[in-house]
A and B are shown apart, each in its own frame.
Chain A
Amino acid sequence: MIAEQVVATVTDPELPMVTLAELGIVREVREHGDGVTVTITPTYSGCPAMESIRADIAGALRTAGFGRVEVRTVLAPAWTTDWISETGRRKLAEAGIAPPGAAPRREAGPVPLTLMPRPSTVRCPRCGSGQTEALAAFGATACRELRRCLACREPFEHMKEI
């Protein structure tokens, strides 16, 4: 198996239903003469899973027989939820987590203040209704918020656009 295929099987430690590649965390897998170099990027500055992600990728490659494995980190360009693939979004939705919409576009000038929650188009991952409301801006991790479906009344998580 080539290195890229091995790395493509490694799942996210916090969201085990999706792979690191589907989340856009894996930026590059490069095979060279005597080993593999994998480049990853953190989702958030304080992401506590980075150590574990590095270890999981290196472990998978070693198990597959790759000798010298190097996992590099890049900080720029900063990760955005726009990098989550279509497959990744489908898997998130199937697991009950509403996938993110398009990341907010930045206009020129100072970062705008948002005093009121923006009107949302988040659909309930269970019944598909577009009538949902935010319950809490932060969920189990910084990347998720808690919402509630007004049609089926079920609470669910939504991965926030960033």
Chain B
Amino acid sequence: MAFDDAYGALTDHDDDARWAYGTGFTDPLAGVPAGFPEGVDRAGLAAYCLMLGDDALIMSHRLQQWVTRAPELEDEMALANIGLDLLGQARLLLARAGEAEGAGRDEDDLAYRRDPHEFRNVRLAERADADFAHLIARLLVLTTWRLALFDRLAGSRDPMLAAIAAKGVKELTYHRDYAARWTVRLGDGTALSHERMTAAVAEVLPPAAELFQPHQIELSLAAAGVAVDPATLRAEFDTVLAEVLTTATIDVAPGFSATAVGSPAATPGSPAATAGSPAAAAGSPETAASGRDGEHTEALGGILAEMQGLARAVPGGAW
């Protein structure tokens, strides 16, 4: 392979591999023995794979947006690599969703040709980051939750989900460590970094309540031994967050716990809902609807416009 021409080198294969978006790539599940465990609702499995795949796809896109904006080159590499891992997880899960659905849609159809209301990611994944501290807080929450989820999903009755999850656990372990270390570095850093990291955590925790609200599909598939009921992840999530935040000297609120995060007690305007309290926005509309039902914030439209623009303008395009 000649490297004089970087673009030429990318396409220097004797097959039809094309390095355009989407369409040139081989199905990531190509050659993976496909099958479905007995008695599993295929439509439900497809919907569930879409949920977990969309979480990874949308968060991956948000991470990619940090490339050229990260505080240090090393962190740019880290964020790009974490985004790439999540994109890989998304590809596998979307391909599996397409297989389970059985309507002939592949990963590209699902990534590039769905409208916002058809996406099933949690809303926290699409949230825009006000600063690097917000990104780190969001990454900490999402990876802590996803790692706990995938660790359990590795025992799924669906062999494909189990394999994707087992592989993902290894990656999410260092994703979470990365976010946790930055939380500590900023939280236990200067007065300014402490203030901004604390503010970011306080803003990101309330909408995190959505992560633990089980959707009907998750519940029925969990009963069938295929999925994980997200409500069961709270104890582990609480323990990990408490360890990170304590080390980071971040005191979000006395008696913080995920139970308090989702508590309906803190209605807007109540004394508990004052700024800085993690429960402040718990009753806000942002957590009332779920991304799992296709109810998204305005932010998703912007992400999809950027991500899907080329694929929609030039269907099947390659170069």
Q: Is B293 an interface residue (CB 8 A)?
A: no
Q: Is A131 an interface residue (CB 8 A)?
A: no
Which chain A residues lie closer than 8 Å to B181 at the CB level? 115
Q: What is the number of contacts between chain A and chain B, taking CB atoms within 8 Å?
A: 117
B-binding segment of A17-25, A50-58, A86-94 = A50-58
Q: How far is the CB of A10 from chain B (nearest CB, A)?
A: 13
Alpha-carbon distance A151/B85, docked complex (angstroms): 34
Tell whether B26 is near chain A: CB-to-CB under 8 Å. yes
| Docked CA distance A78–B265 (Å) | 44
Contacts known (A45-B164, A70-B31, A73-B30); A110 close to B236, Cβ less than 8 A: yes
Flag if A46 contacts B85 (CB, 8 Å).
yes
8 A-B pairs, CB-CB below 8 angstroms?
A44-B84, A59-B13, A76-B159, A76-B166, A78-B167, A111-B176, A113-B177, A115-B181
Bin the interface of chain A by size.
35 or more
CA gap between A11 and B52 in the complex, in Å: 34
B236's nearest neighbour on chain A, judged by CB, is A110
Q: Mark B18-50, 1 if CB is under 8 A from A, else 0.
A: 000000011011111100000000000000000
Interface residues of B: mostly helix, strand, loop or mixed?
A: helix
> A52: which B residues are within 8 A, CB to CB?
13, 17
Instruction: State how many angstroms separate the Cβ of B184 from the closest Cβ of chain A.
Output: 6
| Contact pick for A111, options B87, B91, B92, B173, CB 8 Å | B173
Judging by beta carbons under 8 Å apart, are A75 and B86 in contact?
no
Question: Which of A45, A70, A78 is most buried by chain B, counting CB atoms within 10 A of its CB?
Answer: A45
A114 interface hit (Cβ, 8 Å): yes
* Contact B13 A78, beta carbon cutoff 8 Å: no
In residues 61-99 of chain A, which contact B (Cβ within 8 Å)? 70-79
